[in-house]
Amino acid sequence: VYPLHVQQELDEWKEQKNRRRAWLKPDQAALLVDEPKLAALLESIAPELARF
Residue 29: closest CA among 12, 21, 8, 11:
21
pTM, rounded to two decimals: 0.69
Q: How far is CA 18 from CA 8, 24, 47, in A?
A: 20, 19, 31
Whether the CB-CB separation of 2 and 49 falls below 8 Å is answered with no
- Asked if the model's pLDDT at residue 51 lies above 80, the reply is no
Give residue 50's pLDDT: 76
- Read off the pLDDT of residues 10-37 as tens digits, 9 standing for 90 and up: 999 999 999 988 888 888 999 999 999 9
What gap in Å lies between CA 37 and CA 18, rounded to an integer? 25
CA-to-CA distance for 36 and 40, rounded, in angstroms? 6
